[in-house]
Amino acid sequence: MQQLHLTSDEKQALAAWLTSPELAGKAMPFAQLEGYLFALICAPAPLEMDVWVKQVIGEDISALSEDQLFALMALHNEMSEQVFETGFVLPSYLKTLAGQCIEDQTQGDGQLWCLGFALGAIDYVSDILKSGQLDQQLNESFTLAFNCLSVLAQPEQIASNAKQLSMPDDVYLTNMISLMPDFALGFAELVEMAALQSGLFDQEGWE
């Protein structure tokens, strides 16, 4: 069976369409889409395609052409393979954040990715944490993973979080960014463990 993958040119075309006048002010930019899909792929329960596609483009799925829908599904498929088979690797714009000043770190594609991730993960992360069923170690690891991968989603929280840890803002942010690759690589497994321990989800979704 042919695998659904996008070429670099097709990804550029998808990114251009998402910011085109046709979808101006409604669709997620490509970097936000990548973060959002990553969160959905790691989720303990799948979200129906028409629901997440509408969230991405800000319109009903019926407004899409076959090529546009294929592009979104292909990107979802490609990222799913990375998460569950080959190992998920953060986009290059996130891997290069560590060498930037704090002003640049909290703007641009890195922030968009974190915004997308937070949007896609916040509901199931909140439900799992509110269950009160996680042991202390897993609760702390799961919370840290979410906070790390969404660290740029709310730049205004960086200073207060850094203060709680008695760190300068730039040191705190650099430390969190340095942890992102490892947390991204293992986030799906961490979600599975937390979801099962919470009692809100059963093993069926991972069998």
What is the C-alpha radius of gyration for the chain, rounded to an integer number of angstroms?
17
Please, are residues 101 and 59 in contact by the beta-carbon 8 Å criterion?
A: no
Residue 203's pLDDT band (boundaries 50, 70, 90)? Answer: low
Packing angle, helices 49-57 and 30-42, rounded to 10: 160
pLDDT at res. 207: 41
pLDDT at res. 3: 55
Sign of CA dihedral 56, 58, 60, 64: negative
Tokens representing 184?
A: 């991204």
Q: Could you give the 3-state DSSP secondary structure of residue 10? A: helix
pLDDT at res. 49: 92
Return the closest-CA partner of residue 200 out of 120, 134, 121: 134
Mean pLDDT of 73-85: 96
What count of other Cβ atoms lies within 10 Å of the Cβ of residue 186? Answer: 16
Find where tokens 């953060």 sit.
90
pLDDT at res. 24: 81
